[in-house]
């Protein structure tokens, strides 16, 4: 049985972060993020949107995430630095692109922990002692808000004990988080697997649009997000060049298998009365907690009790990790000069304490009467995939300009898979729908105001950490963001419907390839890339 690696004497690199985490700790950081509240809701939300063909949606989503993870695996081995996803575009395209993708990364990470807390509170409403924490519209009551603040404080408090304590805490929680979904799969399937459910009301009643829409809007991609958490902890890995690729790909494989099995068993275990009026009208007692309610309906009350407990533990584990990720991303942004140096300060345990405090403040703000968990899924999915899209772009640049840079893991067929993964990322963003993307656009503009204001201040005051904004290398970025928004507005996923289904996929793919090769052509020169990399001193992990 695998176990948490024995930890040698702690080591601190030049950034002040302690290199305490081994392969299992890295992999469990990602798996612990992948298996969160998504498994509790994803299967039910997907089948309502796509019918039993939601299985195809999960497969497509898994393939898309694998493509992006493969690219990240090579980059993580090349550049084992804390907050890696916020730094790759900085290396390849200079300050403006680095600031932009850093904001995308921080935006998605900072909003996940509060949403996981809201999921915990929502499921906890089943218990009498926790009733009254939410209004009918699922926003928090005063007591719910106070409870949410306390839970966020717990996440931050655990992180203050350092990454070593986090690795042990998360590893223990992740074993539980894997065991419970697997138990639900096998126990529910025994005596409750009705193969007729897959065809009795039609396998794909909503056609291709339902299958594709479910990928972004019902929580599929949201559920599979999290593989990058190992990369965010690269600066605290004992042997990052060996362990990062393994942890990244291993976590995706574990998560994808579990989620696809969950969808299959969920469909098969439903009584026909639950969807007799069509999959869009799926309903049964306790559906607000889909898996726990289904367990009760099929006579597995004891399993339902376990699932209600898991509805506290699984989201808590994910929220814990994303609290860590938020502070590490702000750490990386500060190292690149996009945020004040306070975000890069660490305490005696190597913890970026100011970033943790700000992640707590952000969480508290998110607990104000904002939309529910379900309505925010599309937003977080789009912000996350937009963050991921920076990696294929950077990969293409490094393949051309740094061909001899050490690569512990080399992606087979990378020159083809890299642009393909960029196309797939943009399709996922597009499928989230116009109603989600215009809100994301507003959040992006807010980021430019906040980070841009600091960059302007640092430059005007001639501060030593003032970022170098390379507008030439990022000239494609405004066209990319605006163009993707225009295509969404004209498309059929919440837009005007001017571009019909299938043709919209062709348009997104063609647009993506134009942006990809435009970005490669105008990227930073090799010497500028090397200079950016040299600004972050990376100490190799000790030999074993």
**Domain spans of the chain, in order of start:** 23-534
Nearest 5 degrees, angle CA 116-CA 117-CA 120? 90
Separation in Å, CA 439 to CA 233, 446, 480? 29, 11, 17
Q: What is the model's pLDDT at position 234?
A: 62
Neighbouring CB atoms inside 10 A of 27's CB total 25
What is the C-alpha separation between 46 and 225, in angstroms, rounded?
A: 16
Q: Check residue 138 and give its pLDDT.
A: 63
Predicted confidence at residue 479, as pLDDT, reads 95
- pTM value is 0.80
- Tell me how far apart the 2 most distant CA atoms of the chain are, in Å: 71
What is the CATH class of 23-534? mainly alpha
| Residue 5 pLDDT | 33
Of 95, 92, 96, nearest to 391 by C-alpha is 92
pLDDT under 50 in the chain at which residues?
1-15, 537-544
Q: How far is CA 292 from CA 75, 345, 387, 513, in A?
A: 40, 44, 33, 44
C-alpha dihedral sign at 461, 355, 394, 517: negative
Question: What pLDDT does residue 465 have?
Answer: 67
Determine the pLDDT at residue 174. Answer: 67
């Amino acid at each position: 049985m695998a176990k948490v690696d024995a930890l040698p004497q702690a080591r601190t690199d030049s950034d002040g972060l302690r290199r305490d985490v081994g392969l299992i700790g890295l992999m469990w950081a990602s798996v612990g993020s992948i298996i969160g509240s998504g498994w509790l809701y994803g299967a039910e939300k997907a089948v309502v949107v796509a019918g039993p063909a939601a299985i195809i949606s999960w497969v497509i989503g898994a393939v898309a995430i694998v493509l992006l993870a493969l690219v990240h695996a090579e980059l993580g081995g090349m550049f084992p630095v804390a907050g890696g996803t916020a730094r790759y575009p900085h290396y390849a395209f200079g300050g403006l692109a680095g600031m932009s993708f850093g904001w995308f990364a921080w935006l998605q990470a900072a909003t996940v922990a509060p949403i996981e807390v809201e999921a915990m509170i929502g499921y906890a409403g089943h218990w009498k002692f926790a009733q009254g924490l939410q209004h009918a519209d699922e926003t928090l009551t005063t007591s719910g808000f106070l409870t949410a603040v306390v839970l966020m404080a717990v996440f931050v408090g655990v992180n203050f004990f350092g990454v070593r304590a986090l690795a042990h805490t998360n590893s223990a929680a992740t074993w539980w988080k894997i065991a419970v979904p697997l138990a639900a799969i096998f126990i529910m399937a025994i005596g409750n697997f009705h193969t007729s459910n897959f065809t009795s009301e039609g396998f794909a009643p909503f056609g291709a649009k339902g299958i594709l829409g479910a990928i972004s809007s019902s929580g599929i991609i949201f559920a599979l997000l999290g593989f990058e958490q190992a990369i965010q902890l690269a600066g605290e890995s004992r042997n990052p060049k060996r362990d990062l690729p393994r942890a990244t790909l291993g976590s995706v494989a574990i998560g994808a298998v579990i989620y696809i099995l969950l969808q299959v068993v969920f469909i098969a275990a439903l009584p026909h009365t639950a969807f007799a009026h069509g999959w869009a009208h799926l309903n049964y007692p306790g559906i607000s907690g889909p898996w726990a309610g289904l367990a009760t309906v099929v006579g597995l009350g004891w399993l339902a009790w376990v699932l209600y407990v898991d509805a506290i533990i699984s989201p808590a584990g994910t929220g814990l990790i994303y609290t860590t990720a938020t502070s590490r991303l702000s750490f990386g942004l500060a190292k690149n000069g996009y945020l004040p140096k306070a975000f890069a300060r660490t305490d005696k345990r190597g913890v970026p304490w100011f970033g943790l405090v700000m992640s707590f403040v952000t969480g508290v703000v998110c607990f104000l009467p904002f939309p529910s968990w379900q309505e925010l899924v599309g937003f977080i999915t789009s912000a996350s995939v937009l963050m991921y899209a920076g990696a294929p772009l950077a990969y293409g640049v490094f393949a051309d300009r740094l061909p001899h840079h050490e690569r512990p893991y080399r992606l087979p067929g990378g020159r083809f898979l890299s642009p393909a993964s960029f196309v797939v990322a943009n399709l996922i963003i597009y499928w989230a729908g116009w109603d989600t993307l215009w809100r994301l656009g507003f959040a992006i503009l807010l980021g430019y105001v906040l980070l841009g204001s600091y960059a302007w201040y640092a430059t005007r005051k001639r501060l030593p950490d003032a970022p170098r904004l390379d507008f030439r290398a990022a000239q494609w970025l405004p066209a990319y963001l605006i163009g993707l928004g225009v295509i969404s507005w004209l498309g059929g996923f919440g837009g005007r419907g001017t571009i019909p289904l299938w043709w919209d996929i062709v348009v997104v793919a063609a647009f993506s390839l134009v942006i990809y090769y435009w970005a490669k052509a105008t990227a930073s020169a090799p010497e500028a890339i090397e200079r950016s990399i040299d600004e972050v001193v990376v100490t190799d992990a000790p030999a074993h």
